[in-house]
Amino acid sequence: MLQMLLEMLFNYSYFRRRMKKKKRRPRSLNGYRRACINVVYLIHSDKRIGTEKQSAQHYLGYCVDVRERFKSHQKGDQFSPKIIQAFIREGCVLTIVRTWKCKSKKDARALERKMKGKAIGGMGQARRCPICQGKVKIK
């Protein structure tokens, strides 16, 4: 009986010690700790591409790591959207002009969808772009 109580006590204390260990945050590929921040971003191109009826100068997207995603956009790799690949083919200079931080991936996706939905009528993404609005000038 005493042996059984000691085993139970030992198992209980062992279990509590295991539960008290802090959970580690995920590490990025290069070994540094990184907080997962979901970001919706707006990319501005220096040239307009397309026809007179349909043309584009902006791209709106979301990701976790904006720097890495922008690097992949600039390479024009297969995971980049077709509009970004078209910008790269035309030799356009791309710049990130605006970002919006969100708490979760779901919130970021919802914000992106909401913004893209409102882009269909009117000025599109140009009304969110500080360069197109004349607030910022690129040299």
Domain boundaries, the chain: 38-128
pLDDT of residue 15: 55
Percent of the chain with pLDDT over 70: 66
The DSSP-derived string for 18-86 is: HHHSPPPPPB-TTS-B----EEEEEEEEEEEEE-SSSEEEEEEEEES-HHHHHHHHHHT-TTS-HHHHH
Q: Which two tokens stand for residue 79?
A: 């995971």
pLDDT score at 126 = 78
pLDDT < 50 regions, the chain: 28-33, 122
Whole-model pTM? 0.67
Residue with tokens 């970021």: 108
pLDDT at 30: 46
